[in-house]
Amino acid sequence: MKTDQGHLSYCSNIHPGEIWDLHFAELQKNVPLVKAQVAPNQAMGLGLRIANQASIDLQDSSAFEALKSWLGKENLYVFTLNGFPYGGFHDTIVKDQVHAPDWTTQERYDYTLRLAHLLAKLMPENEHEGGISTSPISYKYWWNSPEKLHDATKKGTLALLELVVALADLEKSTGKWIHIDIEPEPDGILENHREFVDWYENVYLPMGIEFLGKKGMPDSDDLLRRHVQLCFDICHYGVSFDKPATCIQELVDKHIPVGKIQISSALRVDLRENPLAQIETLKKYHEPVYLHQVKAFGKDGTFIQYRDLDEAIADFNPDRDDEWRVHFHVPLFLENYGILGSTQQEIRETMAIQKSNPFTRHLEIETYTWGVLPTEFQVPMDQSISREIQYIQGLLK
């Protein structure tokens, strides 16, 4: 829905369905229930997650028109897409395959361009800006040498530059401005704020100015910033121990645009008290579907990173670690999960900045782990989503 701080929505990656018919059925079942609770008398924005197969299915005009008709009937509109997961995201083992195929492949480029064309057609006539969040180029550990990592980064960046050209052409022909929002994630090639900013300034912009220059495209710096932006995922920033206020100020100072905020929360584990009990409780959050990377802050001021939660638990040392941050998207509206904490404070800080000095126009709630949460924190889906939206509405008032 529209707020004074931008469009607010939730991401439909919470709902299963990799083929369109299945996902659409889930939307039809759940979204009207949510809307009745959070936006009964106004249009509600929807952040769609359209998997690759679903994006192909929606090339069928009857499927697309059914979606458009349903959006109109339910007083819904689409302004952002989640284009990070390409294939299976529920009822399968996802883990590092959430990055596959990555930006070194033609499949990722084709999928994202297809999403851009779909979004341009889905957006309301009076809205001209849309965004698509995407993988931070690739998964870092797939490239087992500095040279291979460098080559993958360069190849992925070139694919994004090709997409800038396509998105500029799309805007000329439709009037719809679509930006691709890179989402730094633990263990991605761009895994945190520092790596994204360094890549944007020292790789993406220089390569892009040269690339677009050879194509005779004027105002290349403006085009590059217009069509590739940052997806500010608060959970991921929290896991990396990045401070929202400091990071946002740097983005503003360096004119690095933020396409959207993904509003999400991570687990925070304060190991200075009852460490063994907390580690025992944390074992309930190790599950086989998603990666739950851990960043550990030590008593000596250094960090250790783990690729998944079970590795961190196996290596736990109460004499070494002070605090863990765990990449597990827990619900926003709870600060504590029993004896475990969360990075809810980072959400409050980020929303306070957005409220006083908005730095993006798109806000998307992204908690997708309801099905793998411990049972004591599971409630009916529409109530869970509504409570999250209402919590953020309250912070923005």
Note whether residue 166 is domain-resident.
yes
CB 139 within 8 A of CB 184: no
What is the per-residue pLDDT for 94? 72
Among 119-128, 153-162, 287-296, where is mean pLDDT lowest? 287-296
If pLDDT is split at 50, 70 and 90, which confidence band does 287 have?
Answer: confident
pLDDT in tens, 206-264: 999 999 999 999 889 999 999 999 999 999 999 999 999 999 999 999 999 999 999 99
Kindly give, in sequence order, each residue whose CB lies less than 8 Å from that of residue 65, ignoring residues fewer than 6 positions away.
none
User: Please, what's the largest Cα pairwise distance for the chain?
Assistant: 63
pLDDT tens digits, one per residue of 196-210? 999 999 999 999 999
Percent of the chain exceeding pLDDT 90 equals 85
Is residue 294, in this structure, part of any structural domain at all? no
Asked whether residue 286 is domain-assigned, the answer is no
269-272 long-range Cβ contacts below 8 angstroms, 24+ apart: 269/323, 269/324, 269/325, 269/326, 269/340, 269/341, 270/322, 270/323, 270/341, 271/318, 271/321, 271/322, 271/323, 271/324, 272/322, 272/323
Within a domain: 319: no
Cα-only R_g, the chain: 20
What's the domain range around 145?
2-264+343-396
**CATH code, 348:** 3.20.20.150
Mean pLDDT for the chain overall: 94
Tell me if 226 is assigned to some domain.
yes
Least confident of 73-77, 87-91, 136-140: 87-91
Answer yes or no: is 218 within a domain.
Answer: yes
User: Is position 315 within any domain?
Assistant: no
281 in a domain, yes or no? Answer: no
The torsion region of residue 186 among left (phi > 0), alpha (psi -120 to 50) and beta comes to beta
Inter-CA distances, 245 with 234, 238, 259, 351, Å:
12, 12, 17, 10
pLDDT the model gives residue 104: 98
Residue 32: the pLDDT is: 97
Convert the pLDDT of each residue in 334-386 to its tens digit.
888 889 999 999 999 999 999 999 999 999 999 866 665 667 766 778 888 99
**Cα(334)–Cα(342) distance, integer angstroms:** 8
The mean pLDDT of 320-344, rounded to a whole number, is 92
Least confident segment among 69-83, 90-104, 142-156: 90-104
Residue 76's DSSP bridge partners are 44
**Residue type at position 220:** S
How many distinct structural domains can be found in the chain? Answer: 1
Q: How confident is the model at residue 293 (pLDDT cuts 50, 70, 90)?
A: very high
